[in-house]
Structure 1
Amino acid sequence: MPTLPWTVPNTPPQATEAHIFASRFETKTFWGALKFLALTPGVWRQVSKAPGAYGATLKAQPLKRTFWTLSAWESADALKTFARSGTHAPTSRGLATEMRDVKFATWTVPSDSLPIRWPDAQSRLTS
Structure 2
Amino acid sequence: MPDIPWSTPTPAAPGAEVHVMASRFETATLTGAVRFFLKSPGIIRQMRKAPGAHGVALRARVLRRTFLTLSAWEDRDALYRFARSEPHRSSARAAAAYMKESVLTEWTVPATELPLGWDEAERRLAEQQQADR
Instruction: Give the TM-score category using the shorter length.
Output: over 0.9
Distance (whole Å) between structure 1 residues aligned to residue 120 and residue 44 of structure 2: 22
Amino acid at match of 1:61: R
Q: Which residue of 2 aligns with 1:47?
A: 47
Instruction: State TM-score, norm by structure 1.
Output: 0.98
- Give per-residue Cα distances to partners, 1:10-36, cap 9 Å, x unaligned: 011111100000000000000000000
Q: Which residue of 2 aligns with 1:82?
A: 82
Unaligned runs of 5+ in 1: none
1:120 Cα deviation (Å)?
0.2
Q: Which residue of 1 aligns with 2:9?
A: 9
SS at match of 1:95: helix
Amino acid at match of 2:59: K
What's the % identity of the aligned pairs?
Answer: 47
Matches within 5 A, 1:28-107: 28-107=28-107
1:86 Cα deviation (Å)?
1.9
Amino acid at match of 1:74: E
What is the aligned residue count? 127
Distance (whole Å) between structure 2 residues aligned to residue 61 and residue 42 of structure 1: 17
- Give per-residue Cα distances to partners, 1:29-51, cap 9 Å, x unaligned: 00000000111111011011110
Q: Which residue of 1 aligns with 2:119?
A: 119
Unaligned runs of 5+ in 2: 128-133
